[in-house]
């Protein structure tokens, strides 16, 4: 035999105990109606055991209120009867568990619980007169497996607003009663919002009902934000307004609270950047540089939204009109998004390091995320006149040496009884081949301008050889002499080609104009080689003298033009640099 009470005469059989408050003389049972087989809840008020017959009004008030209520979130009143030691009230049974029982809810489930509970309060508060529950707490809110929410225990409910009577000041649960109820002040529709807010805070923070007072300070303000660091800030603000100690600071009623409930998920998305710092280095002046960065959101059932902003910097005047950092797309909505960060270095000073921040504003918990940006601009090529003349002087010396060695080699072969015409012809032919060979080598190494200049020189030398042949200057050719002369010419041509190519590339790197640089380098090479040949052959005939003078004159004119252009560019650079963005 079990120790459950026997209610057979009232057609009910008790199956198990659901809960009890021994001190208050209340026990709740799950029972079965013997005639219909329906599962019901029997709430027994044992007034005789506690000698608290004065609490009869609680029993009578709850029945009276429940008889008038008809809502899916409130178990229906079915019956009542008197027993030897008190009274019993019968209600519809809902297979649901109180929120006071520890379990885990998904963020969306918590949101649905808040909405469903508010909808019950909207029903109660829109009645005429409104019904104020006065004891909303985790034990009195039940949730079944489908997420349906039920509000139970209307023993402390009152119909209509007004002050709490002296005899009922303590009726309610400490920690869940708003200050106006606790201090016998005017009750309103906002009073039940306090209890619901405290209940949701218990649910989100994992705080037991009997320890909720630990979150309340001396001014009755609730401090819980530090316990819900991963909850959307909009939800934290909404809950804080639900539990404001002053009624005027709270939502005025459930309708307003329901309308203000955040649309964003309870658990916000997260913004995970693939990199926290972007380091970009320019290779050339005026480059437009692009780097990519990816942002991902790992939180399920959420959508990451945001926009980019360049953080203000004192050296970035009028960012909208003088923008040098852009991010595409600037705004987005997605959980995996790739962005292109583009830097316009033509608006920056050369050889400087710029440090800026990109701000990502999102609907994530950390609403603003900073991305560090470091840009190193290319250095301006050296434009020193000393370096310019040194490079040209080196080319002239090398080409003079090449001319002298060539003349020495040809004279040595002629001294060995080789035909002079054939040897010279071979040297010219070999020189053209050597120049083109050097051009091929430079072209394969990426020296395109130097290679083109060497090819031009090879063609010019080959044309000279052709003109000699057509003019009849060459009357007989000896193959052995041609081959030996060509060997000397190939080495001289290749060395000249490499010297010309290196000079051109070096001068172009310093910022020279291409056609001027190529012309100066070729004329310097011609001047050097002709000088070396003259010294080697010990000749100073009229044609050599004219070639030397004309080449020197044109070379001087081009050098002066280049230097004047550099001076002008330097003045323009100093003037324009004042308009550039500073680091």
Is 70 exceeded by the pLDDT of residue 511?
Answer: no
Give the per-residue pLDDT at 382.
Answer: 55
**Which two tokens mark 131?**
């019904």
Mean pLDDT along residues 375-396? 69
Q: Single out the residue in 259, 286, 318 at which a domain terminates.
A: 259
Strand 86-92 versus strand 39-45 pairing type: antiparallel
Q: Which residue has the tokens 């829109």?
A: 126
Say which residue, 362 or 423, is predicted with more confidence.
Answer: 362
Is 60 exceeded by the pLDDT of residue 362?
Answer: yes
Say which residue, 317 or 485, is predicted with more confidence.
Answer: 317
Three-state DSSP state, 247: helix
What gap in Å lies between CA 234 and CA 221, rounded to an integer? 18
- Asked if residue 434 and residue 564 are part of one domain, the reply reads yes
Q: Mean pLDDT score of the chain, rounded to an integer?
A: 79
17 within a domain of the structure (yes/no): yes
Give the per-residue pLDDT at 533.
Answer: 64
What pLDDT band is residue 430 in, cutting at 50, 70 and 90?
Answer: low
Is 70 exceeded by the pLDDT of residue 177?
Answer: yes
Q: Is 446 left (phi over 0), alpha (psi -120 to 50) or beta?
A: left
Query: Model-level pTM?
Result: 0.58
What gap in Å lies between CA 94 and CA 149, rounded to an integer? 10
**Which two tokens mark 479?**
């193959």
- Asked if residue 371 and residue 390 are part of one domain, the reply reads no
Q: Single out the residue in 75, 92, 109 at which a domain terminates.
A: 92
Give the per-residue pLDDT at 169.
Answer: 43
Give the per-residue pLDDT at 168.
Answer: 46
Q: Single out the residue in 58, 92, 126 at which a domain terminates.
A: 92
- Asked if residue 335 and residue 212 are part of one domain, the reply reads no
Q: Which of 101, 93, 98, 77 is nearest to 30 (CA)?
A: 93
Percent of the chain scored above 90 by pLDDT?
Answer: 29
User: Which of 61-70, 323-332, 475-484, 570-579 is predicted most confidently?
Assistant: 323-332
453 within a domain of the structure (yes/no): yes
Give the per-residue pLDDT at 25.
Answer: 73
Is 70 exceeded by the pLDDT of residue 213?
Answer: yes
Note the pLDDT tens digit of each residue in 70-81. 999 999 999 999
For the chain, how long is the longest CA-to-CA vector?
A: 150
Mean pLDDT along residues 241-256? 95
Is 70 exceeded by the pLDDT of residue 403?
Answer: no
**Domain of residue 237, CATH code:** 1.10.510.10
264 within a domain of the structure (yes/no): no
Give the per-residue pLDDT at 164.
Answer: 46
Q: Extract the runs of DSSP E, i.e. beta strands, from 22-164.
A: 26-33, 39-45, 77-83, 86-92, 97-98, 131-132, 141-143, 149-151, 158-159, 162-163
- Asked if residue 103 and residue 79 are part of one domain, the reply reads no
Q: Are 410 and 428 in contact (CB under 8 A)?
A: no
Give the per-residue pLDDT at 291.
Answer: 92
Q: Which of 50-54, 179-183, 285-289, 335-339 has the lowest mean pLDDT?
A: 50-54
Give the per-residue pLDDT at 137.
Answer: 94
DSSP summary character for residue 340: E
519 within a domain of the structure (yes/no): yes
Q: Which of 35-39, 203-207, 337-341, 485-489 has the lowest mean pLDDT?
A: 485-489
Query: What counts of helices (H) and strands (E) characterise the chain?
Result: 13, 21
Compute how many other C-beta atoms are within 10 angstroms of the C-beta atom of residue 382: 11
324 within a domain of the structure (yes/no): yes
2 within a domain of the structure (yes/no): no
Give the per-residue pLDDT at 167.
Answer: 42
Say which residue, 529 or 298, is predicted with more confidence.
Answer: 298
Give the per-residue pLDDT at 572.
Answer: 58
Give the per-residue pLDDT at 283.
Answer: 85
What gap in Å lies between CA 544 and CA 551, rounded to an integer? 11
3-class secondary structure for 349-381?
CCCCEEEEEEEEEECCCCCEEEEEEEEECCCCC
Residues 6 or more apart from 51 whose CB is under 8 A from it? none
Is 60 exceeded by the pLDDT of residue 416?
Answer: no
What gap in Å lies between CA 154 and CA 171, rounded to an integer? 12
DSSP summary character for residue 412: H
**Domain of residue 341, CATH code:** 2.60.40.10
Mean pLDDT along residues 238-266? 93
**Domain of residue 52, CATH code:** 3.30.200.20
What pLDDT band is residue 347 in, cutting at 50, 70 and 90?
Answer: confident
- Asked if residue 189 and residue 140 are part of one domain, the reply reads yes
Is 60 exceeded by the pLDDT of residue 537?
Answer: no
Is 60 exceeded by the pLDDT of residue 541?
Answer: no
- Asked if residue 304 and residue 248 are part of one domain, the reply reads no
**Which two tokens mark 199?**
């209940």
Strand 97-98 versus strand 131-132 pairing type: unpaired
Note the pLDDT tens digit of each residue in 273-317. 999 999 999 888 788 889 999 999 988 777 888 999 998 888 887
Domain count for the chain, please give it.
4
User: Which of 49-53, 120-124, 463-467 is predicted most confidently?
Assistant: 120-124
In Å, how far are 91, 348, 573 from 283, measured between CA atoms? 81, 14, 19
Q: Measured in whole angstroms, how far is the alpha carbon of residue 442 from the centre of its chain? A: 44
- Asked if residue 250 and residue 106 are part of one domain, the reply reads yes
Is 60 exceeded by the pLDDT of residue 62?
Answer: yes
Q: Which of 528, 524, 582 is nearest to 401 (CA)?
A: 528
**Which two tokens mark 69?**
């209520």
Mean pLDDT along residues 361-367? 82
Mean pLDDT along residues 117-143? 93
Three-state DSSP state, 546: helix
1 within a domain of the structure (yes/no): no
Say which residue, 564 or 75, is predicted with more confidence.
Answer: 75
What gap in Å lies between CA 75 and CA 144, rounded to an integer? 13
- Asked if residue 500 and residue 525 are part of one domain, the reply reads yes
- Asked if residue 161 and residue 65 are part of one domain, the reply reads no
Is 60 exceeded by the pLDDT of residue 89?
Answer: yes
Is 80 exceeded by the pLDDT of residue 154?
Answer: yes
265 within a domain of the structure (yes/no): no
- Asked if residue 208 and residue 297 are part of one domain, the reply reads no
- Asked if residue 426 and residue 568 are part of one domain, the reply reads yes
Mean pLDDT along residues 205-213? 89
What pLDDT band is residue 375 in, cutting at 50, 70 and 90?
Answer: very high
- Asked if residue 422 and residue 544 are part of one domain, the reply reads yes
Q: Which domain holds residue 137?
A: 97-259
């Amino acid at each position: 035999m079990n120790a459950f009470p026997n209610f057979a005469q009232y057609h009910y059989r008790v199956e198990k105990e659901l809960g009890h408050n021994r001190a208050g003389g209340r026990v709740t049972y799950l029972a079965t109606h013997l005639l219909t087989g329906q599962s019901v809840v029997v709430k027994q008020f044992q007034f005789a055991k506690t000698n608290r017959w004065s609490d009869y009004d609680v029993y009578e008030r709850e029945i009276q209120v429940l008889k008038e209520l008809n809502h899916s979130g409130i178990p229906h009143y079915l019956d009542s009867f008197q027993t030897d030691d008190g009274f019993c009230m019968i209600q519809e049974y809902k297979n649901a568990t109180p929120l006071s029982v520890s379990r885990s809810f998904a963020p969306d489930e918590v949101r649905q619980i808040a909405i469903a509970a508010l909808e019950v309060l909207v029903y109660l508060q829109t009645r005429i007169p409104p019904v104020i529950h006065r004891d909303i707490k985790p034990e009195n809110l039940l949730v079944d497996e489908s997420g349906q929410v039920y509000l139970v225990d209307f023993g402390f409910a009152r119909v209509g607003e007004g002050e709490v009577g002296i005899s009922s000041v303590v009726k309610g649960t400490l920690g869940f009663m708003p200050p106006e109820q606790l201090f016998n002040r005017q009750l309103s529709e906002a009073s039940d919002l306090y209890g619901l807010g405290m209940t949701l805070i218990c649910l989100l923070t994992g705080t037991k009902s009997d320890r909720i007072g630990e979150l309340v300070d001396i001014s009755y303000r609730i401090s819980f934000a530090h316990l819900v660091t991963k909850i959307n800030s909009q939800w934290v603000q909404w809950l804080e307004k639900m539990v404001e100690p002053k009624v005027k600071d709270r939502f005025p009623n459930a309708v307003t609270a329901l309308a203000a409930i955040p649309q964003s998920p309870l658990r916000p998305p997260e913004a995970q950047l693939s990199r926290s710092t972007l380091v970009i280095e320019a290779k050339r002046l005026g480059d437009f540089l692009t780097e990519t960065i990816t942002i991902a959101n790992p939180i399920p059932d959420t959508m990451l939204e945001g926009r980019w902003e360049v953080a203000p910097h004192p050296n970035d005047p009028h960012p909208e009109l003088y923008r040098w950092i852009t991010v595409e797309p600037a705004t987005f909505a997605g959980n995996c998004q790739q962005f292109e960060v583009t830097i316009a270095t033509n608006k920056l000073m050369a050889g400087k390091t710029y440090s800026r921040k990109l701000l990502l504003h999102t609907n994530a918990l950390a609403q603003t995320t900073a991305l560090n940006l470091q840009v190193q601009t290319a250095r301006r090529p050296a434009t020193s006149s000393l370096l310019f003349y040194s490079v040209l002087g080196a080319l002239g010396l090398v080409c003079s040496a090449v001319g002298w060695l060539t003349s020495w080699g040809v004279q040595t072969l002629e001294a060995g009884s080789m035909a002079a015409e054939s040897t010279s012809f071979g040297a010219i032919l070999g020189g053209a081949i050597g120049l083109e060979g050097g051009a091929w080598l430079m072209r394969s190494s990426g020296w395109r301008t130097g290679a083109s200049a060497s090819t031009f020189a090879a063609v010019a030398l080959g044309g000279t050889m052709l003109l000699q042949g057509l003019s009849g200057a060459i009357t007989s050719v000896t193959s052995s002499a041609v081959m030996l002369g060509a060997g000397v010419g190939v080495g001289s041509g290749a060395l000249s080609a490499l010297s010309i190519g290196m000079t051109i590339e070096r001068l172009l790197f310093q910022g020279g104009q291409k056609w001027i640089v190529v012309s100066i380098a070729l004329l310097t090479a011609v001047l050097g080689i002709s000088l070396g040949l003259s010294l080697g052959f010990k000749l100073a005939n009229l044609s050599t003298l004219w070639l030397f003078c004309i080449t020197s004159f044109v070379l001087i004119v081009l050098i002066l033009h280049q230097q004047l252009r550099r001076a002008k560019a330097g003045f323009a650079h100093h003037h324009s640099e004042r308009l550039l963005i500073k680091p």
